[in-house]
């Protein structure tokens, strides 16, 4: 089975959102707890000072999140190239302007699926994003899903 696609910043942001909200919700819990503890322990004398504190704290969190996402974009600029991928029962064959590579199914330990993407997690924690728009039809998506499940299950047993 062969597909061809190019990732976009939107694809990467969707992956990042999936990662934070679905796989790592504890990352969101810490700032909320810190905010609550500071807010409850402080003696604000007016509603205006409370609103200022909430605004500053919220703005800082958004700013830090944006810096982190910005740094991630700098690290993955090479990912926004056209890819030709061929999948077999043993491996992925990937071709791009940077060259060719092969990835064995055994390199992955998890597969996640959303309405728009397939995400494959490497044992190292890195992930591979495959947008469903790369498939020519829903039938091809289903064939890929079955191939991925079978190959990953086979490699778990081996």
Q: Residues 98, 131: one domain? A: yes
The domain in which residue 116 lies consists of 2-7+79-157
User: Could you tell me how far CA 101 lies from the centroid of its own chain?
Assistant: 21
Write down the pTM of the prediction: 0.67
Q: How far apart, in whole angstroms, are the C-alpha atoms of residue 75 and residue 69?
A: 10
Count of domains forming the chain: 2
Q: Residues 42, 100: one domain? A: no
Q: Mean pLDDT for the chain?
A: 78
Select from 21, 54, 75 the last residue of a domain: 75
Q: Confidence class of residue 11 from pLDDT cuts 50, 70 and 90?
A: confident
Average pLDDT over every residue of 64-76: 62
């Amino acid at each position: 089975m062969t597909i061809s696609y190019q990732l976009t910043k939107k694809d990467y942001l969707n992956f990042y959102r999936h990662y934070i909200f679905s796989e790592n919700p504890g990352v969101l819990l810490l700032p909320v707890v810190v905010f609550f503890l500071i807010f409850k322990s402080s003696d604000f004398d007016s509603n205006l000072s409370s609103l200022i504190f909430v605004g500053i704290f919220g703005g800082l969190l958004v700013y830090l999140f944006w810096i982190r996402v910005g740094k991630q974009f700098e690290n993955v600029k090479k990912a926004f190239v056209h890819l030709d991928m061929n999948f077999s029962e043993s491996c992925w064959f990937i071709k791009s302007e940077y060259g060719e590579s092969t990835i064995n199914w055994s390199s992955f330990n998890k597969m996640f699926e959303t309405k728009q993407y397939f995400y494959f997690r490497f044992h190292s924690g890195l992930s591979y994003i495959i947008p469903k728009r790369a498939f020519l039809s829903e039938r091809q998506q289903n064939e890929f899903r079955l191939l991925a499940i079978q190959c990953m299950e086979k490699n778990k047993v081996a």
